[in-house]
Amino acid sequence: MSPEQINGEAVETPSDVFSVGAVLAYAATGRSPFGAGATPVLLYRIVHNAPDLTGVPASLLPLVAACLDKRPAVRPTVPQLLATVTPPAMVAPTAVAHTVARTRTATLPVAGAHNRRRVLAVGGAAAVAVAAAIYAPSLLTDSKARSAKSAGARPVNPPKMLWHAPTINESAVTTNAVLTIQGSEHNVLAALDPATGVQRWSWTGPTVGIISSIGALPATVYACGVQLFTIDPSDGRQLWSAKVVLDEFAVSDRALVAWLGGEARLTPTLSCLDPASGMKRWTRRAPATAYTGALSMSSTVVAFCDSIDSRRVRPERVYALDVTTGEERWRFTAGRLLGRPIATADTVYVGGGDGTPLYALDAMTGAVRWKSAVGQGTAAPTVDQATLYVIDGSHNVLRALDTATGAQRWKFEGRDFRGVWGPVNGVVYLNGFYDDMIYALEARTGRLLWSYRAAGAEQVAVTGDVVTVVCGGDPDARTVYGIRPR
């Protein structure tokens, strides 16, 4: 039984996908991912607790975790589940003529792969059959199966792994260091040498659980949690601190903007601090429907979206606040199943699923500059001055779109992708959801430069000539890898 069914909400295809995930977890471990006990206890755990996926094979863990996501809209679709049975061969990137860059945006047909209303006739024995069909390939242990799998994902000029180290939640990079959260008490920040992984310095916070997220500028590291601390990245010396509880945040040399944590979570509130001193510049209460797990900041605006409405009784909007004053500039009803917005100095990009277009909105007014039928899904795009790189989950491709017109420059086809980063030094990075591959693409053409297997990759960053990858589904037990292209 899915969380939405327990809560009396609409039960559709994602509810069946949740059941498939539970069956997969049971088949892999011999126990329920929500334990044993009385029915009321189990129902509470399904709604409120994370599933226990200890013992699920690493090759299957991302799929099972995705199926058991509490949010129906972000669970895999039926085609995505079936794609795990017969993995398609990776298709080389397709170059698109540059002449279309200045023509009118073509309307791209959107397949029904991400339509959450499609019916999945799975129940009882049928659910077990589907689960077995999906699960069986990952359990093949004969040499022929292993050879076929490795041949299908053979890297192109694979990079060399230099080192690996434990981390909690996420990492951050500066020009000369990789910052990781370490320690069972979540209160140690360590700086690692990018080339060797050797620890240069560490900083220990005054209380347990002091660090939940980190960010970095060239001259300052920001460690947020039950308090905000700033640290000199060259030697680990503490600069200053502020007694403010911050959750998701974005920082630049002009401002630090964050969702307030603690009791402020009950009423979504944004706060802007001076990044050099921690002094509060403004505080703004957001609509009660705002999603406090994401925001995007540019030199002009702060953008965020409404949370996903699984009941479909309200529209989902994107909002833009003036980064200097905190005043609302505009709000725009964008559609459904909105992903993370991306803000630049002059444009805010946002899209979603369930037929929602990808919009390019004027950062000052919210006016539509262009829209495309590309389905963004839940993964945030990334952008440079000329190109927007967006994962079109309905077609299993990464598309590079002209920021001025929305016209497609090139596309890269493959398995289901879960994240895209960059460009850094002319390279775009993305990772596959089911094949656990990191792909490095030439930003100008989409040409595959190399690929590297990294199970459960969550974050990619670059410092110097070293690519750092954070892997692992458990936020408290992740690993950061340092790899260098050959």
Q: What Cα–Cα distance (Å) separates residue 232 from each residue in 128, 202, 221, 235, 372?
A: 54, 11, 6, 6, 43
- Beta strand 328-338 with 342-343 is unpaired
pLDDT averaged over every residue in the chain: 80
Instruction: State the virtual CA torsion across 288, 355, 343, 425 in degrees, nearest 10.
Output: 140
DSSP state of 54: T
Which class in CATH covers the domain with range 3-151?
mainly alpha
Q: What Cα–Cα distance (Å) separates residue 320 from each residue in 189, 270, 302?
A: 33, 12, 5
pTM, full prediction = 0.67
Residue 83: what pLDDT?
60
The CATH fold of domain 244-379: Lipocalin (2.40.128)
Measured in degrees and rounded to the nearest 5, phi and psi for residue 188 equal -120, 125
Question: Reduced to 3 states, what is the DSSP secondary structure of residue 113?
Answer: helix
pLDDT averages per 10-residue partition of the chain, 486 residues: 87 90 92 88 86 81 82 77 52 36 31 32 37 40 33 55 85 84 81 94 82 86 88 93 88 92 80 94 93 92 88 83 97 87 95 85 97 77 93 83 96 84 93 82 94 83 90 76 90
Ramachandran quadrant class, 312 (left: phi over 0; alpha: psi -120 to 50; beta: rest): left
Say if residues 19 and 26 touch (Cβ distance below 8 Å): no
- Distance separating alpha carbons of residues 195 and 198, to the nearest angstrom: 8
Residue 376: what pLDDT?
64
Residue 475: what pLDDT?
65
User: What are the structure tokens assigned to 170, written together?
Assistant: 């996420």
DSSP state of 57: -
How is the chain split into domains, by residue range?
3-151, 244-379
